[in-house]
Amino acid sequence: MARMKAGEIIGIRGPFGTPWPVQEAEGNDLVIIGGGIGLAPLRPALYYTLANRSRFGKVVLLYGTRTPQDILYRKELEALRARFDLDVDVTVDRAGSDWHGDVGVVTRLIPKASFDPASTFAFICGPEVMMRFTAMALQKREVPLQNIYLTMERNMKCAIGLCGHCQMGPLFVCKDGPVFRYDRIRDIFTTREI
Amino acid sequence: MSRPGMDGQFGRVVMARDGIDALIRLLDRQGFRVLGPTVKDAAVALAEISSTTDLPVGWTDAQDAASYRLVKHERETLFHYTVGAQSWKQFLYPSRTCLWRARRAGTELRIESGASPEQKMALFGVRSCDLHAIGIHDRVFAEGSYRDPGYVRRRSNMFVVAVNCSKAGATCFCTSMSTGPRATDGFDLCLTELTSPDGITYFVEAGSSYGQEMLAQLPSRTANEPDVSSVNVMITGTIRQMKRSLETAELKPLLQKNAEHRQWLDVGKRCLNCANCTMVCPTCFCVTVEDTTDLSGNAERRRAWDSCFTLDYSYIHGGHIRTSPQARYRQWLTHKLASWHDQFGSSGCVGCGRCITWCPVGIDITAEAGAIRKSVKIG
């Protein structure tokens, strides 16, 4: 798609499925946690939050990726980091000596992040293993399970619940998700190969 | 073509074989493509029929796990066998469909529907289990929040001639699933083949006003009480023959709570992941969608049956969700018997036994679910 020229045609279907519950999260602190390319689906939620900044308490963006070269939206993140109404923290799995930021998995940013757990919503997107440990770290800080949302990914061929591919237990990720409340999918989410 | 009538609301008649031939001719004259059981490649297969001689006359079948044989029957019966490998889904939800095509016209792309004109269909000789399978597909394709237009169109123009089963196959378990052997719902006409020392006759009941209209045009006599009791006796005999069973009480929570049961590993060692069970299942509906483009820039979006037993089925960027055979078998069985209830409000299994007969290693859905139940009870 990046190689297409002006005037070429792209077909779009949608939107399908469930969105980030941004309005439900209003009045609370919001922690947005992305892993790798998983930052992309969180970007609209972040921008909604910033466009309606007064309706939220503390807003925190935690982002983990493989190397400093893999940081998505780097310029945007640097600009957002300059804001006083938003905490942005970035960590990478490995880096050379020219990186002066955090090294380690994104879950390590959670204990030191500034939010009030009892009234916090969390939106998570990233690899499943990252989301699993992130949800556990949030649980450890006593964020209510029903306030934790994550987005699932499965093979999809239709987006309307008819092709069968995206099933995860009784759920169709395409129409029942992709954004799920953690307490509602925890048992399925922690079963291997389901 | 219709939803069913109340018992006794429509007529019941008795006819000879020439009446069945008259029915097939009448359907043909009314513009239906009449599809029914025939003998092909040493098995009962569904195809176009134009008279009763196209049916498996004088044949019966012997089925068991991983085994299917046609056997000569001593009478000139038309329906003394159970279901073959194919189900009606191949006509209502074909294995390959073109969804749409795009043609390049200068700088423009012209999108055209992939649907081609189709003749309305009469399904002739539908067993009760398969009627229920069609009912299940109605809930999936026609009654959900998204509809499949092709299915809805074919379904709404369809005439159904059901047949009550005169025998139970060794892999049948419709009585466990409350889906047979008597057809109670969803047909225009229902036939029962009655064999007596005097000959073979057909008890025919209408299930819709259209069926009733058709019935009035066929050579027959009005059915009497002895005819009705002959039908009942035959069906009771079929029920008595049914050897396999599946305990369905609390089956959904049982399977959903035992996702890590060792039985999955056990069946995973036997399962070849060949996908036969999903191809012959009358309710399995998974499809894949592929886009193709030719060198002139014309493109087609095609849909084809897919199976949860293939590795590619669960592929996402650089990996597969279900790599092990046991995970794929668990997905199939728990979807069929458990999560189908969550998704569509009923079981996805109609007890037709096809998956047992056509499994090359004879894996039996009733035995696998039964093994989990048994071990949990003991434990």
Q: Is the CB of residue B116 less than 8 Å away from at least one CB of chain A?
A: no
Q: What is the mean pLDDT of residues B45-50?
A: 98
Q: Determine whether the interchain pair B286/A170 forms a contact, defined as Cβ–Cβ distance below 8 Å.
A: no
CB-count burial class (<10 Å; 0-12, 13-18, 19+) for A98: exposed
User: Which of B206, B240, B274 delimits the end of a domain?
Assistant: B240
pLDDT category at B3 given cuts 50, 70, 90 is very low
In terms of domains, do B235 and B255 share one? no
Contact A163 B145 (CB under 8 A): no
Q: What is the mean pLDDT of residues B288-305?
A: 92
Distances (CA, A) of B370 to A171, B244, B248, B273, B376: 25, 11, 10, 21, 10
Across the range B194-214, mean pLDDT stands at: 97
| Partners of residue A169 in chain B, C-beta under 8 Å | 256, 334, 339
Residues B212 and B69 in one domain: yes
Within an 8 Å CB–CB cutoff, is residue B217 touching chain A?
Answer: no
Q: For residues B197 and B84, state if they share a domain.
A: yes
Does residue B22 fall inside a structural domain? yes
Question: Is B3 inside any structural domain?
Answer: no
Q: Are residues B302 and B202 in the same domain?
A: no
Residue B74 lies in a domain: yes
Query: What CA–CA distances, in Å, run from B308 to A122, A165, B94, B199?
Result: 33, 7, 18, 47
Extract the residue ranges of chain A whose pLDDT is less than 70: none
pLDDT at B377: 66
Does some domain include residue B379?
no
End position of a domain, from candidates B199, B221, B240: B240
Note whether B88 and B62 are same-domain residues: yes
- Asked if residue B9 has pLDDT above 90, the reply is no
Q: Classify residue B300 by burial, with Cβ atoms within 10 Å: 0-12, 13-18, 19+.
A: middle
**Is the omega angle on the peptide bond into residue B4 within 30 degrees of 0, that is, cis?**
no
Per residue in B110-145, pLDDT (tens digit) is: 899 998 889 999 999 999 999 999 999 999 999 998
The reported pLDDT for the residue numbered B116 is: 86
pLDDT digits (tens, 9 = 90+) for B334-374: 999 999 999 999 999 999 999 999 999 999 999 999 999 99
Angle at which helices B325-334 and B365-378 cross, to 10°? 90
* Complete edge-to-edge strand list for the sheet that includes strand A120-125: A102-103, A87-92, A59-65, A29-35, A120-125, A148-151, A179-181
Are residues B321 and A169, on separate chains, in Cβ contact within 8 Å? Answer: no
Contacts of B293 in chain A (CB under 8 A): none
Q: Is-cis flag, bond preceding A178, omega within 30?
A: yes
Is B245 a member of any domain? no
pLDDT of residue B318 exceeding 90: no
For chain B, positions 239-258, list CB contacts with chain A under 8 A: 256
Note whether B210 and B256 are same-domain residues.
Answer: no
Strand partners for B45: B38
Sheet containing B108-113: which strands, arranged edge to edge? B108-113, B96-105, B299-305, B287-293
Name the residue facing A165 among B313, B342, B343 (closest C-beta): B313
- In-domain check, residue B95: yes
Task: Say yes or no to pLDDT of B8 above 60.
Answer: no
Count of domains for chain B: 2
Tens digit of each residue's pLDDT (9 = 90 or more) over A147-158: 999 999 999 999
Is B149 in the A-facing interface, judged by CB distances under 8 Å?
no
**Positive or negative CA dihedral for B218, B220, B222, B226?**
negative
Q: Are residues B67 and B206 in the same domain?
A: yes
In this prediction the ipTM stands at 0.91
CB contact under 8 A, B342 and A170: yes
Candidate from B146, B335, B342 with C-beta closest to A162: B146
Residue B306 neighbours by CB under 8 Å, 6+ apart: A157, A163, A164, A165, B286, B287, B288, B313
Q: How far is B336 from chain A (nearest CA, A)?
A: 11
How many CB atoms are closer than 10 A to CB B334? Answer: 23
* From A164, A169, A192, residue closest to B308, measured CB to CB: A164
Rounded-to-integer distance, Cα B226 and Cα B23, Å:
24
Fold designation for A23-151: Rossmann fold (3.40.50)
Phi, psi of B45 (to 5 degrees): -130, 150
Q: Residue B341: is it exposed, middle or buried by C-beta count within 10 angstroms (0-12/13-18/19+)?
A: middle
Residue B149 lies inside a defined structural domain of this protein: yes
The per-residue pLDDT for B115 is 87
Q: Are residues B366 and B326 in the same domain?
A: yes
Residues of A within 8 A of B323 (CB-CB) are: 193
| B188 and B160 Cβ atoms separated by less than 8 Å | yes
pLDDT at B5 over 50: no
User: How long is chain B?
Assistant: 379
Both B303 and B343 in one domain: the answer is yes
> Domain residues for B16?
12-240
Last residue of a domain, one of B240, B264, B295: B240
Residues B79 and B139 grouped into a single domain: yes
With a CB-CB cutoff of 8 Å, which residues 116-155 of chain A face chain B?
153-155
What Rg, from alpha-carbon coordinates, does chain B have? 22
Residue bearing tokens 């989990």: B372
Residue B36, SS3 per DSSP? strand
From the CA atom positions of chain A, what is the Rg in Å? 17
Query: Is B67 found in the same domain as B37?
Result: yes
Mutate to test the interface with A, among B109, B285, B343, B344 (most CBs of A within 10 A): B343
Pick from A157, A160, A137, A156: nearest CA to A148: A137
From CA A82, how far away is CA A75, in angstroms rounded? 11
Kindly report the average pLDDT of chain B as a whole number. Answer: 95
Identify all chain B residues contacting A161, using CB atoms and an 8 Å cutoff. 144-146, 343
Query: How confident is the model at residue B6, as a pLDDT?
Result: 44
Under 8 Å between Cβ of B301 and A180: no
Same domain, B187 and B41: yes
pTM score, whole prediction: 0.94
